[in-house]
Amino acid sequence: MSDDTICAPATAPVNSPIAMIRVSGPDTFRAVASLFSRGKALEHRRAVYGSIIDEGSIVDDVVVVGYRAPSSFTGEDMAEISCHGNPIVVNRILALLLSRGLRIAEPGEFSSRAFLNGKIDLTEAEAINHIITARGEWEIEAAVRQMHGSLRVAIDRIRQGLVELKADIECGIDFSEEEIEFVGEEEASCRLSEIRELVETVLRRCRVGERVSRGIDLPIVGRPNVGKSSVLNLMLNAERAIVSSIPGTTRDTISESVRMGGLFINLMDTAGIDTPSCEIEEIGIGLSLARMSSSSLLMVVVDASSGILGEDRRVLDLAAGKRRIVLLNKADLVDDEALARLREELGGEGISFSAKTGRGLKELEAAIVSTLAGDFADQRDFFVADIRMTALLEEALAVMERTDGIIKDKGPGEIIAFELQTLLDTLGAVTGEVTADDVLNSIFSRFCIGK
């Protein structure tokens, strides 16, 4: 438990109907009661309506909920003051709390105290931060599951297997003179392999979560002047990219994000792919090709009014083998028969689209959501993890490979047990059971004040 008591606004400093001020520490109830008209009525987990008083004057009417340690988020005595959401009111109440000897909390200090008091582990703390910063529904769903222990349970299962294997190997060391074999080389290697598969599964789910949190890249590609920038502007409902009848207006990659079907999509307007006329165009086309190569889904734009030209075929060939959505843009300039011929030429692909009128926009969004939902159908149960967690899991896999080599080379049991303990410590750092103070400071400093 901390010796001092902290306070901070738990809501954004903007005008709003309601704001909340959070207080935590041993002096919580005394400090809050000293400025609350019904201080004597404060009880554990009971909402009390009253007024904040300053020298006999009412500052605001509020609702106060008190929490007695250890049954609170931080594990300490806590209170949450709900007041009217004018920053002037919030700051005045904070000033009164500070005058009672409290201090303003550092970023993430409430969550840090919850961790230090054993209320949450680091996987749950990271999930809390992700809930606040998430940009899509799928990420929030995963973060909520992780806040309730999904990643911790997976790590605990792995650690339990390692503890049992280490115990058997150490028993073999203790009874080596009796020539009792608690676990043989083949069995130890097999058990370690099973544990490694669990770690690989967790790491894979973390990487899926990392991909979702970054947003799914969706390059808009095609030859010059087919309307790629107009498609981007329509999807964003904003004039983000310059639109001109002059071919090659877009020289660089323009990226903007939108939310579709619970996922965050990074739309990328790219330079038209054609024979470059200058060095700048050549660089832009190179970037377009790189985006096509690295992305798993492409949006290929074709000018329906001019038909499929040689450069269109080049782009379509480059997109072959990748999942793609083909837009027959400028469909407002041609008849249905011409569009049908284009689809036949494309093997049935193609959404009739008009960046000018908005035709086909709903069909395009549905196609994007359907394709990406299919991508993540078997991987939706992912984890939200930062670089620290994935690096630790990768380190654990490297130690496992080294340990398996020692086992197969019939190395001493003492060395194998030492390596298994290294593995346990590495995985313990994921949940925070073994973590240096500077790492903890780095983690919680990224949280917002009030959390």
**Residues 124-183 pLDDT 10s:** 988 888 888 887 787 888 889 999 999 999 999 999 999 988 888 888 675 555 555 556
* Same domain flag for 229 and 335: yes
Indicate whether 97 and 52 sit together in one domain.
Answer: yes
Give the mean pLDDT of 65-87.
Answer: 96
Q: How far apart are CA 418 and CA 428, in angstroms?
A: 15
Same domain as 219, residue 204: no
**Domain containing residue 322:** 215-375
CATH of the domain at 13: 3.30.1360.120
Residue 380 inside a domain? The answer is no
- What pLDDT does residue 242 have? 43
Which pLDDT band, with edges at 50, 70 and 90, does 247 fall under? very low
184 and 151, same structural domain? yes
- CA atoms of 71 and 119, how far apart (whole Å): 9
pTM to 2 decimal places: 0.73
Taking only the tens place, the pLDDT of each residue in 349-364 is 888 998 888 898 999 8
Query: Is 99 in the same domain as 36?
Result: yes
In angstroms, the Cα distances linking 196 to 165, 227, 388 are 13, 49, 19
Q: Tell me the HSE value of 290 on the side-chain side, using a 13 A CA sphere.
A: 8
Residues 249 and 361 in one domain: yes
**What pLDDT is recorded for position 243?**
44
In this structure, the answer to whether residues 170 and 192 fall within a common structural domain is yes
pLDDT at 274 > cutoff 80: no
**What's the pLDDT score for residue 156?**
93
| Residue 272 located in a structural domain | yes
Q: Tell me, yes or no, whether 366 and 409 share the same domain.
A: no
| pLDDT for position 380 | 61
**pLDDT digits over 183-218, tens only?**
678 888 899 999 999 999 999 988 888 877 888 888
Residues 287 and 408 in one domain: no
Crossing angle for the helix pair 87-99 and 28-35, to the nearest 10 degrees: 120
Domain co-membership, 174 together with 306? no
The pLDDT-based confidence of 111 (bands split at 50, 70, 90) is very high
Q: Answer yes or no: is 206 within a domain.
A: yes
- Based on the domain organization, do 219 and 199 belong to the same domain? no
| Nearest Cα to Cα of residue 304 among 263, 336, 268, 258 | 336
Contact 104, 87 (CB under 8 A): no
Same domain, 353 and 219: yes
444 falls within a domain: no
For residues 448 and 11, the model is more confident at: 11
The reply to whether 151 falls in a domain is: yes
Closest to 417 (Cα-Cα) out of 137, 162, 147: 162
Q: How many domains does the chain have?
A: 3
Percent of the chain at pLDDT exceeding 90: 39
Domain boundary residue, one of 73, 100, 119 = 119
| pLDDT of 250 | 47
Residue 52 falls inside a structural domain: yes
